[in-house]
Amino acid sequence: MKRSHVVLLAAALSISLLAGACGRSSSDSAAGGSTPSAVDAKCKGASLEATEIGVTSSEITVEVMADTGSPLAPGLFQGNVDGMNAFAKYVNANGGIGCRQLKVEAWDSKLSPEESKNGIINACATALAMVGGNSIFNPDTSVLGNCADKAGQPVGLPDFAALANDINEACARTTWNVQVVAEPCNADGTPPKGPRDVKSFQGANQYYAAQNPGLTGLWLVPGDLPTTIQSATYQVVATQAAGIAAEPVKAASASTQAGYTEFVQQLKDMKGTYVYNGGADGNMIKMRKETAAQGYDGVKVWACSLACYTDNFKAQGAAMDNTYVWTQFLPFEEADTNPALKAYVDAVGGKPDSFGIQAWQAGMVFKETIDRIVAAKGPNAITRSSVIDSMMTVTDFTAGGMMAPKGPKDFSDCFVLMQFKDGAFTRINGERGKFVCDPTFVVTTPNFDPAAEAAKIK
């Protein structure tokens, strides 16, 4: 993957942000798949068979598991389900997958480890693979490794995750994760324990620090679950290393606006100029509204992840003005620059979702995997074993150029930075249709134990 870079900030700054065009392979399509002519040739005249659990002569069934029905955050990842349903509709209207039609079943994991495990068990019994999922609390992924295939062999269950926040799922040998994998996984697919090197993306924080030296304030840790707290710890430390004195505080999704009063008081006491929200968009909405209610206007940088890139956030209007949001996929507003992105936006009726697009991208990785199998061995070679063998060969994947290139368990150094102003998200770095990339954006924190650090956050 070739990327040309141009200087974005003056050389006098302590860092330089380099803008790069992450090229789109000519073989990528809006739905994924690398060899359409070879696949079509294999499908033509083929006598299709039921080759695996979830694979009949006419359909391939996958399961999308996401946290959608928890009272802590109702509808949290509904975008994943909607994204996969839209992907199936699009794929089926454009030739299908593996010479068959794609069928999607949904499982609500409810922010519950029990329901997450049950969802994996259900997928093992009914689907070829899990695709497009987003289940934050998913500690027992043993079935991913030992799920039996149609022949009764414990080959495992393929998992094309939109986001695997739980390190147990992220490290599982059968998981291809569209979002980042920040921690080093053991060779056998087990998660690391104790102190280890962890990575975090700091391109956005480096930008804020360069533009506003001496930032100090709060880092809102998503405090509902052990996994979300742990995944925030190394991001907090890396933020501090980027030159921003941010103190971590636990912010629960279920808290009312009044629950943020103590955070605003802490912010006022320190004369804080920076607030980062590591949780859902509602956390930032409540924090901003309570800060305004208390009359504090000292914050220079309101920052959020892709979690705030939502219609709900936009609906808050001027109260959210100047909030920064960063993504590792092209903005929906730039769909005219990328056919794959436009296909997603159109398929969801012009109502794109920051989590839904990652589910769509997971679907594209899945289709790429199936296409490779069909092109090489034909449509009756689709089994869980062949999927697991092929999926990890899909590397430097760009989803038709709409996401920063990555493999199944690595970390991209590209992003797009936007700011919410006048009711719209506006890009503030790089060129339309391109990413800003630099290896220095990915920061390694050495000898770090997330579990031990999470225990220190009160």
Mark whether 52 and 128 lie in a shared domain.
Answer: yes
Copy the structure tokens of residue 25.
């392979």
Residues 383-415, buried b or exposed e (16+ Cβ, 10 A)? bbbbbbebbbebeebbbbbbbbbbbbbebbbbb
Q: Can you list the residues of the chain whose pLDDT is less than 70?
A: 1-30, 32-35
Helices (H) and strands (E) in the chain, counts: 14, 17
Mark whether 301 and 420 lie in a shared domain.
Answer: yes
Copy the structure tokens of residue 71.
């009272």
Write out the H or E segment, with its range, that includes residue 290: helix 281-293
Q: Collapsing DSSP states into helix, strand and coil, what is residue 170?
A: helix
Count of alpha carbons within 13 Å of 225, Cβ hemisphere only? 21
Distance CA 282, CA 154 (A): 42
Copy the structure tokens of residue 52.
């695996």
In a domain, 233, yes or no: yes
In a domain, 48, yes or no: yes
Count of alpha carbons within 13 Å of 188, Cβ hemisphere only? 4
Copy the structure tokens of residue 14.
């302590």
pLDDT attached to residue 15? 29
Statement: the pTM of the whole predicted model exceeds 0.85 = yes
Strand pairing category for 129-131 and 159-161 = parallel
Mark whether 242 and 117 lie in a shared domain.
Answer: no
8 A C-beta contact, residue 427 and residue 178 = no
Structure confidence by residue, pLDDT tens digits, 198-242: 999 999 999 999 999 999 999 999 988 888 899 999 999 999 999
CA distances from 370 to 32, 97, 399, 449 (A): 10, 7, 15, 38
Report the number of distinct structural domains present in the chain. 2
In a domain, 28, yes or no: no
Distance CA 342, CA 403 (A): 13
In a domain, 93, yes or no: yes
Distance CA 325, CA 204 (A): 9
Residues 112-146, buried b or exposed e (16+ Cβ, 10 A)? bbebbbbbbebbbeebbbbbbbbbbbbbebebbbe
Mark whether 57 and 169 lie in a shared domain.
Answer: yes
Mark whether 353 and 206 lie in a shared domain.
Answer: no
pLDDT attached to residue 364? 98
pLDDT attached to residue 34? 57
Q: What is the CATH number of the domain that holds 312?
A: 3.40.50.2300
| Alpha carbon 62 to its chain's center | 19
In a domain, 375, yes or no: yes
In a domain, 374, yes or no: yes
> Cβ–Cβ contacts within 10 Å for residue 313, how many?
23
Mark whether 284 and 425 lie in a shared domain.
Answer: yes
> By residue range, what is the domain housing residue 221?
198-327+413-454
Mark whether 299 and 346 lie in a shared domain.
Answer: no
Strand pairing category for 274-277 and 245-251 = unpaired
Mark whether 248 and 378 lie in a shared domain.
Answer: no
Phi-psi region of 45 (alpha: psi -120 to 50; beta: other; left: phi over 0): left
Mark whether 284 and 423 lie in a shared domain.
Answer: yes
Copy the structure tokens of residue 186.
């053991």
Count of alpha carbons within 13 Å of 52, Cβ hemisphere only? 29
CA distances from 267 to 217, 243, 311, 425 (A): 6, 18, 27, 26
Identify residue 367 by its one-letter amino acid code.
K
pLDDT attached to residue 6? 29
Mark whether 370 and 249 lie in a shared domain.
Answer: no
Give backbone dihedrals phi and psi of 297, rounded to 5 degrees, phi first: -125, 25
pLDDT attached to residue 262? 97
pLDDT attached to residue 38? 87
In a domain, 192, yes or no: no
pLDDT attached to residue 73? 83
Mark whether 114 and 211 lie in a shared domain.
Answer: no
In a domain, 45, yes or no: yes
CA distances from 37 to 89, 95, 102, 226, 375 (A): 21, 12, 19, 47, 9
Mark whether 124 and 141 lie in a shared domain.
Answer: yes
DSSP code per residue over 314-334 = HTTGGGGTTEEEEESB--GGG
Non-local (6+) Cβ contacts of 279 within 8 A are 220, 221, 222, 223, 224, 228, 251, 253, 307
